[in-house]
Structure 1
């Protein structure tokens, strides 16, 4: 299966403003691109690029005063199959974890696992360690949080999401990650393209999606507590400790996002 993926972001800047963008397909999926995800910026400005500490590809530019459009339109190959994971994978003892996993055991800005430690053990201490425990966490989070775009908040932490019982996909991911870390399971935040292929219509407007990966026997495995079902066509963009590490745009000055479009659509195969 081939997917057309892309975005169109329109900003108004009252003054020249530095921006860091994290919008390119993750390096682990670059070989699947059949048409590149080149970023196009209007008006044209110089762009520099670098890898952050997590290996994500970042773009850096100075937006001029006035209107700016940032867009990309690419095609990527996908299996077309629902994603799967090893439901029997065991939990790796902390003393046996690879060193690169340890940072994903520690509380972070939005995944305040230290505040949820006692609650996590009360809720999940009786569950089977490993993938069954992570799935039990996803099941709980899926029931606990009510999804509503109007409830989005850029300052809500995992413990806030638990207390308020509302939020968007990033809140589901933050709460599940915090619970995993409290249970000594490394977990990292992921931002992705994710369309609605294979789900009943009507489909909502496109958006980027948050999920997370947990480190279990055999390596990292993807989980999605918001949808909590196997999905088709997830395309990874970036990974980090939480949403603060993988913001699609970090601006260093006042601005208004006037339009936001994202698409992840199946491309009809040629006859």
Structure 2
């Protein structure tokens, strides 16, 4: 399968504004690129890149005063297969987890494990550990939250999403991640492209959020927003929660005036 991905994001800046971008695909997907994943800007500016603590490819820019646009358009190859499932994947005891995985058991900015721990143990203590428990958590988050773009709020935490029962894909992910961590299942936040491939068109295209859980000695994809395997995920970033994988962070005033994302299968 070939997938065309890209975006056009436009800002109005009252003054030159430093920005941090996470708009490239993860290094693991670079070998799948059929055309280069390059960040272009209008007007053209200098850009420097580095990899953060989670291996994400980040870019630093100084956005100019006035109207400023970022865009990309590339083709990536994909297996075309839905997310694999691992019903037999076991849960690794905490004392046997790799050191680098432990951080994904801890509470974070949007995933307050202390606030939801009692609820998690009450709901899922009797579910067999491993894949069954993680899937039960995903199904609970899927049913608990009603999706709607009008419910998006950049400061909303997992606890707030649980109480309000309204949100967008990041809220489903934060809630499921938090409940998994409460039950000693390492879970990390993922973001990237995921188009409406293999399903009916599902609203306006945007970047998507999902999660990975550490089961059976490896990271496994799960998605509380959709609660079923999907086709054509193109990972851009992983982290503890949305704080670590913000697509654009501006260090000063900047008004978003245009936003378009594309993730379409090429026939």
TM-score by length of 1: 0.97
Secondary structure at the counterpart of residue 136 of structure 1:
helix
Q: Which runs of 4+ in 1 moved over 6 A?
A: none
SS of 2:246's equivalent in the other structure is coil
User: Displacement of 1:44 after TM fit?
Assistant: 0.9
In the alignment, the residues of structure 1 paired with residue 3 and residue 216 of structure 2 have an alpha-carbon distance, to the nearest angstrom, of: 31
Q: Which residue of 2 aligns with 1:131?
A: 131
1:51 and 2:51 aligned: yes
The residue that corresponds to 1:78 in the other structure is: 78
Find the residue that maps to 2:107 and give its secondary structure.
coil
Match of 2:119 in 1: 119
Q: Indicate the SS of the match to 1:204.
A: coil
Asked if 1:210 corresponds to 2:216, the answer is no
Q: CA deviation at 1:234?
A: 0.6
The alpha-carbon deviation at position 87 of structure 1 amounts to 1.5
Does residue 31 of structure 2 align to residue 31 of structure 1? yes
Alignment of 1:176-187 (within 5 A): 176-187=176-187
Displacement of 1:166: 0.4
Q: Secondary structure at the match of 1:35?
A: coil
Instruction: Look up the SS of the partner of 1:229 in the other structure.
Output: coil
Q: Does 1:159 align with 2:123?
A: no
The alpha carbon displacement at 1:192 in A equals 1.4
The number of equivalent residue pairs is 267
Aligned partner of residue 45 in structure 1, secondary structure = coil
Q: TM-score, normalised by structure 2?
A: 0.99
- CA distances 1:11-35 after superposition (whole Å, capped 9, x unpaired): 0001110000001000111100000
Shift of 1:89: 0.4
SS at match of 1:34: coil
Deviation of 1:63 after TM superposition, in Å, equals 0.6
Aligned equivalent of 2:245: 246
Q: Gapped runs of 5+ residues in structure 1?
A: none
Whether 1:9 aligns to 2:9 is: yes
Deviation at residue 182 of structure 1 after TM alignment: 0.4
Equivalence for 2:232: 233
Aligned to 1:147: 147
Structure 2 unaligned spans of 5+ = none
Q: CA deviation at 1:83?
A: 1.2
CA distance in 1, matches of 2:200, 2:212: 26
Q: Deviations over 1:117-163 (max 9, x none)?
A: 11100010110101110100000000000000011001111000000
User: 1:193 & 1:114 partners in 2: Cα distance?
Assistant: 31
Contact 2:92 2:217 in 1 (8 A): no
Output the CA distance in 1 between the equivalents of 2:174 and 2:227: 14
